[in-house]
Amino acid sequence: MDLLNTLVDKGLRRETPTRAEALAVLATSDDDLLDVVAAAGKVRRHWFGRRVKLNYLVNLKSGLCPEDCSYCSQRLGSKAEILKYTWLKPDQASEAAAAGLAGGAKRVCLVASGRGPTDRDVDRVSDTIKAIKEQNEGVEVCACLGLLSDGQAERLREAGADAYNHNLNTSESTYGDITTTHTYADRVDTVQKAHAAGLSACSGLIAGMGESDEDLVDVVFALRELDPDSVPVNFLIPFEGTPLAKEWNLTPQRCLRILAMVRFVCPDVEVRIAGGREVHLRTMQPLALHLANSIFLGDYLTSEGQAGKADLEMIADAGFEVEGTDRVTLPEHRTGGGCGSHESRGCGSHEGGGACGSSGAGADARGGAAEEPRPDLVAVRRRGAGTDLAPNA
């Protein structure tokens, strides 16, 4: 297929695909799906070999959020029966992180619900970062605390944070339909603050909120413009008790096409399969490793994931290897300081402009309608951080 040959050539050169080419990936048929995966897999292997980076989430503070993000089980007004607790103490968070690190995780992601941290919250998280780093040589720590105020990113960096996560989630044009308590511009500003402070920026999207192919391409081009070192691709988990509980718009094939498109647009960045892979990719998860070079180990913030042992078995059975702390994740041209440098702007090269974007995925007209809802696959997390039970790592 000429399209795929063109996209592989561009990916190996870090050249931006056109919007039409990115849209064409999403429009491919199920008959062409394995060809799409094989083509994107060539780009993935060129930049990352067969390594899979493992990340581990620690939910520092669960629920009770004043923001109204429609996709989130922790949102204002959520009726989802999730765990709710206030800040974990640094030793509790460090203990929770240790379980994931023992399971092979290279990066710990410290997440707290809320609009954004107070200066006291930054102090609290800084103490947690220091505790984790003191006990685990070579570990990366990423903070995800919401919207940052001036100077907070610098303080997190001084405390030892390597990265900061703040996702765009959905397009600028439709952002107000998903969230009203803050703006798309607020999110862009926080990613830029992380960059400016020397943190490795992590920013991605949520697929499955009913958006169009054009929306999906918009958000990925917008992410390319922002130049994060890692791009998490979340697949909406339709929690009962949230406004998007009825949005079951994804098939495994659709998810694979989305991941392939992200890889072609951002060839040399860490593409991470994030929340919802077990719900929507299901038995197709191993194929997704040919597209993404990073996953979360075990459970997520408020939902249960695949058992950590099963994740490791899946990686090995698919012929991949877990990336150790002795390896640098990003290609050499992107590294230089911290977890990544930003000398080459954009997720690769910056020859094409990026539109401001959206996230997600709707029903796939060419690959068949989305399957029937599977609420049985959505399990609320009842172990790990905030409980007395051992985590799923």
Identify the active-site residue in 14, 44, 69, 157.
Answer: 69
* Residue 272 designated active-site: yes
* Residue 144 designated active-site: no
Query: 291's torsion region: left (phi>0), alpha (psi -120 to 50) or beta?
Result: alpha
DSSP state letters, 128-153: HHHHHHHHSTT-EEEEE-SSPPTTHH
Nearest Cα residue to 32 out of 280, 257, 214, 249: 257
Q: For residue 326, give every residue at least 6 positions away whose Cβ sits within 8 Å of its Cβ, in sequence order, or none.
A: 138
Identify the active-site residue in 75, 124, 202, 347.
Answer: 202
Give the Cα separation of 219 and 235 in Å (integer).
14
Identify the active-site residue in 14, 19, 44, 72.
Answer: 72
Identify the active-site residue in 224, 272, 334, 381.
Answer: 272
* Residue 339 designated active-site: no
Q: What is the C-alpha R_g of the chain?
A: 19
Give the Cα separation of 180 and 67 in Å (integer).
8
Give the Cα separation of 189 and 173 in Å (integer).
17
Identify the active-site residue in 44, 107, 142, 257.
Answer: 142
Identify the active-site residue in 14, 19, 44, 109.
Answer: 109
* Residue 202 designated active-site: yes
Contact 17/355 with Cβ under 8 angstroms? Answer: no
Element containing residue 96 per DSSP (H, E): helix 90-102
* Residue 347 designated active-site: no
Give the Cα separation of 18 and 11 in Å (integer).
12
* Residue 142 designated active-site: yes
- Owner of token pair 């150790």: 324
Identify the active-site residue in 14, 44, 65, 224.
Answer: 65
Residues annotated catalytic, as ranges? 65, 69, 72, 109, 142, 202, 272
